[in-house]
Amino acid sequence: MAFNKGTLTLLGQNLIPAKFPESKLVVPKQVIIKSPDGLNIHCQLFEGPGTGKKPAVIYVHGGPPRQMLLGWNYSDYYSNAYASNQYLASLGFAVLSVNYRLGIGYGYEFHQPANAGTAGASEYIDVKAAGEWLAKQPNIDATKIGIYGGSYGGFLTALALGRDSKLFAAGVDIHGVHDRTIDRTQNIISPDRYEKAPDAEKALQVAWESSPVSSVSTWTSPVLMIHGDDDRNVRFSQTTDLVARLREKGVSIETLVIVDDTHHWMKHSNAIKINQATADYFKKKLSK
């Protein structure tokens, strides 16, 4: 974009393909909700025209030091996510993208909250609050709210499905972390360390309770799990382990393995494939 005496000029407009469905893009609306502890949570709502109660989807970004915007993101990964949210809106879904605590752009305390991550996953209350906000909207079908995200967003998606299947009817978990006791806590519980924290076992228990695998017993919602088998950021076994646990529990589960690709989809065709698979899954599970 370029500004010239108050006018807006789109750079590289000649590079936009003639078939690009620009007319179907929606302008995201800013939504600010209150988390249970009073924190303001900034969200972006993608919603196309239409009447009646719509199915809805929560989008949870990864990172977590990221910030989703009211426009195309400067990152290729999240630019693709923005396109995915636009596509879901064009299919009749209301999509709410959530900037949960741990993210950037809202101050130090927001970025470094208490009891987050392996210390209690306090950021999840923001995601749940967003789902509950959607459920209260008069134009939303509260029985058809889905959730999806990648990486840390996959972790929060799995946590949502495990803890609150009554709220989240289906989900797409893309290369998420599911057991936070693996690797992340090894340095505090290793028996051969010269010094060991006196509350190391408690820390391990909290890390387990902060992990989606600890909530498999209450997980009933169907899920599509997607992972690249050459992922260098999140171990592929994080997904295969959860898949085995969910199958044993009897949860309806589908899987999509992206062969020979990494965490950031080195092939653009794979990014398109996972976005299309996500949309197809939500259409199957949530659309009338």
What CATH number should be reported for the domain holding residue 108? 3.40.50.1820
Helix axes 152-163, 124-135, angle to 10 degrees: 60
Number of domains in the chain: 1
Containing structural domain, residue 86:
27-181+212-286
State the DSSP string of 36-104.
TTS-EEEEEEE--S--SPEEEEEEE-SSSS----SS--SSHHHHHHHHHHHHHHHTT-EEEEEE-TT-S
Task: Look at residue 99 and tell me if it is in a domain.
Answer: yes
Mean residue pLDDT of the chain comes to 92
Question: Rounded to 5 degrees, what are φ and ψ at 273?
Answer: -60, -45
Mean pLDDT of 263-288: 95
Two structure tokens written together for 278: 């996500």
pLDDT reported for residue 194: 61
Q: What is the mean predicted confidence (pLDDT) over 16-30?
A: 89
- In a domain, residue 192? The reply is no
Is 128 contained in some domain? yes
pLDDT at residue 184 tops 60: no
Asked if residue 19 belongs to a domain, the reply is no
Confidence class of residue 188 from pLDDT cuts 50, 70 and 90? Answer: low
Q: How much is the pLDDT for 16?
A: 85
Q: Is residue 80 part of a domain?
A: yes
Q: Give me the residues paired with residue 97 across strands.
A: 44, 59
Does any domain span residue 105? yes
Supply the pLDDT for residue 138. Answer: 95
Give the per-residue pLDDT at 14.
85
Higher pLDDT: 183 or 216? It is 216
Over residues 267-285, the mean pLDDT reads 97
For residue 114, tell me if it sits in a domain.
Answer: yes
- Residue 232 in domain: yes
Decide: helix, strand or coil at residue 198. coil
What are 69-87's pLDDT values in tens digits? 999 999 999 999 999 999 9
